[in-house]
Amino acid sequence: MIPTPASRLAVVVVAAGSGTRLNGGAPKAFVPLGEHSILHHALRGVFAGPSAQVVIVVPAGYENAARAAVATAGGHDVTVSVVTGGASRQGSVAAGLAALDDGVDIVLVHDAARALTPPVVFERVFDAVAAGAAAAIPTVPVVDTIKRVDVAGHVVGGVDRSELAAAQTPQGFRRSVLAAAVAAATADHTDDASVVASAGHTVVTVEGDALSFKITTAPDLERARALVAPHAAATDDPTAPPALPRVGLGTDVHAFGGEGALWLAGLEWPGETALSGHSDGDAVAHAIVDALLSAAGLGDIGTHFGTDRPQFAGAHADAFLNHTVALLRDAGWRVGNVAVQVQANRPRFAARRVEAEQVLSTALSGAPVAVSATTTDGLGFTGRSEGVAAFATALIVPL
Ligand SMILES: Nc1ccn([C@@H]2O[C@H](COP(=O)(O)OP(=O)(O)OP(=O)(O)O)[C@@H](O)[C@H]2O)c(=O)n1
Ligand SMILES: C[C@](O)(CO)[C@H](O)COP(=O)(O)O
């Protein structure tokens, strides 16, 4: 980091949004994340970064709650101003800029919603602007295949993801550049770099961080809570890695009567009756997903694979398990091992058990999977051959 007098730098923390997509019962920055609020965690990252004046922009009526968050986050020695936000994010940024001290010449604008951003990201952005850039933003690569989709939901083309990057915050600027661009803006932009770029300035990028994800929806909040919970008691540092392995439990049931082939434990079973379900009805894979998500404290299969996700309609085990591994990885975990038991009269697993274990293990990035199968001596719905039940346990370990 380039050392500069504290008076040069200010961080504007925009926390005035309503959190419509989160629907958390309070403006988003004031929704609980562990023992404290989202804003408290965001401020911990800000206070651990480069020395700065800090301006917090909040909804009307939340000024005192913001001052309380400053105290719990350890901002006793920091110059902090709390101001009321605008109707849009850009309006809130303008309100924050109006509260800057005279000596400030570099400004970082940070979303409170990116509450677990590591302090090193603030340093990277500040260093880039202090080294001469008019504007610098942290970005991360886009990992999904991106499609253009029309209003009917049909794919109309692809986008080369090598040309794309996902923008995060804090976004850093020469104060004069940002203030002039915001004052001259005629359109509402979703980030500050767009405001400055539309005024003709070059925006450079620095490395972002997976922990800087934005808490936008309920699954994001679950993920943030899972990151904060395991280590908060031990270290009180939300950016420290989780310390202990964790275990989880999952079950699933599907009835026979689906269309097409039977899919179970990641295998197709020619000649067997299919299971019904939104996806392929693979109760073994779904029980494993629930076991892994419960171990990580990331909710359950409905949280991430509900019927509102058309991409998982008809999907097989590999799609479910790959996505679950990615969710765990983003939360700081990898799969240790999985054990799953199937209760069913059919199919008979003995001849294909090893094959099933290999397929499931491959979908879990190589973690060992043990599959066992049993019947119930004619008792219950599995004994009457009405369906299949599966029970899974999982161990996950910190990355
Ligand atoms: N009028 C607004 C709108 C947004 N923000 C802030 O901008 C950041 C990013 O916005 P977003 O995640 O979209 O938050 P919300 O607007 O609260 O969410 P939603 O769009 O779901 O209502 C958040 O820290 C939010 O508090 C703000 O300060 N003032
Ligand atoms: C500023 C931002 O976080 C960069 O990714 C983002 O643009 C905030 O607004 P959004 O409407 O939630 O995209």
Instruction: Give the span between the Cα atoms of 329 and 345, in whole angstroms.
Output: 36
Instruction: Give the span between the Cα atoms of 186 and 184, in whole angstroms.
Output: 6
Which position has the token pair 């603030």? 122
Question: ω before 347 within 30° of 0 (cis)?
Answer: yes
Pocket test for ligand 2, best of 114, 169, 196 (most atoms within 8 A of CB): 169
Asked if residue 340 lies in contact with residue 287, where contact means CB atoms within 8 angstroms, the answer is: yes
Residue spans of the chain under pLDDT 70: 1-7, 230-243
Instruction: Give the span between the Cα atoms of 342 and 253, in whole angstroms.
Output: 10
Q: What pLDDT does residue 237 have?
A: 54
Type of residue at 1: M
Q: Which ligand is nearest to the CA of 168?
A: 2
Asked if residue 344 lies in contact with residue 265, where contact means CB atoms within 8 angstroms, the answer is: no
Q: What pLDDT does residue 325 have?
A: 93
What separation in Å is there between the alpha carbon of 387 and the centre of ligand 1?
46
Q: What 8-state DSSP symbol labels residue 225?
A: H
What separation in Å is there between the alpha carbon of 26 and the centre of ligand 1?
12
Helix and strand numbers, DSSP H then E, in the chain: 12, 18
What's the topology of domain 9-231?
Spore Coat Polysaccharide Biosynthesis Protein SpsA; Chain A (3.90.550)
What separation in Å is there between the alpha carbon of 230 and the centre of ligand 2?
28
Question: DSSP E strands: which ranges in the chain?
Answer: 9-14, 32-33, 36-37, 53-58, 80-84, 106-111, 135-141, 146-149, 155-159, 165-167, 171-174, 203-207, 246-255, 262-264, 267-269, 333-343, 369-374, 387-398
Instruction: Give the span between the Cα atoms of 77 and 69, in whole angstroms.
Output: 14
Residues 6+ apart with CB under 8 A from 93: 12, 14, 57, 109, 182, 192
Q: Which ligand is nearest to the CA of 12?
A: 1
Instruction: Give the span between the Cα atoms of 288 and 338, in whole angstroms.
Output: 7
- pLDDT tens by residue, 214-265: 999 999 999 999 888 755 544 455 555 446 899 999 999 999 998 889 999 9
Measured from the Cα of 113, ligand 2's closest atom is 3
Measured from the Cα of 171, ligand 2's closest atom is 1
The distance of Cα 49 from the centroid of its chain, to the nearest Å, equals: 22
What's the topology of domain 246-398?
60s Ribosomal Protein L30; Chain: A; (3.30.1330)
Q: Which ligand is nearest to the CA of 14?
A: 1
CATH code 3.90.550.10 region(s) in the chain: 9-231
Q: What pLDDT does residue 149 have?
A: 95
Q: What pLDDT does residue 86 have?
A: 94
Instruction: Give the span between the Cα atoms of 47 and 33, in whole angstroms.
Output: 18
At 69 the three-state DSSP class reads helix
Asked if residue 134 lies in contact with residue 174, where contact means CB atoms within 8 angstroms, the answer is: yes
Residues touching ligand 1 (Cβ under 6 Å) are: 14-22, 28-29, 57, 85-89, 92, 111-113, 214, 216
CA-closest residue to ligand 1 atom 11: 17
Type of residue at 142: V
pTM passes above 0.80: no
* 372 CB within 6 A, ligand 2: no
Q: What pLDDT does residue 1 have?
A: 42
* 190 CB within 6 A, ligand 2: yes
Q: Tell me, what's the ipTM? A: 0.96
Distance between first and last Cα of the chain: 27
Q: Which H or E run includes 383?
A: helix 380-383
| Residue 93 is assigned to a ligand binding site | no
Neighbours of 59 (CB within 10 A): 21
DSSP bridge partners of 84: 58
Instruction: Give the span between the Cα atoms of 100 and 102, in whole angstroms.
Output: 6
Q: What pLDDT does residue 234 have?
A: 43
CATH code 3.30.1330.50 region(s) in the chain: 246-398
Instruction: Give the span between the Cα atoms of 96 and 201, in whole angstroms.
Output: 21
Q: What phi and psi values does residue 220 have, to the nearest 5 degrees?
A: -65, -40
Q: What pLDDT does residue 230 have?
A: 58
DSSP bridge partners of 137: 205
What is Dmax (Cα atoms) for the chain?
81
What separation in Å is there between the alpha carbon of 63 and the centre of ligand 2?
23
Q: Which ligand is nearest to the CA of 189?
A: 2
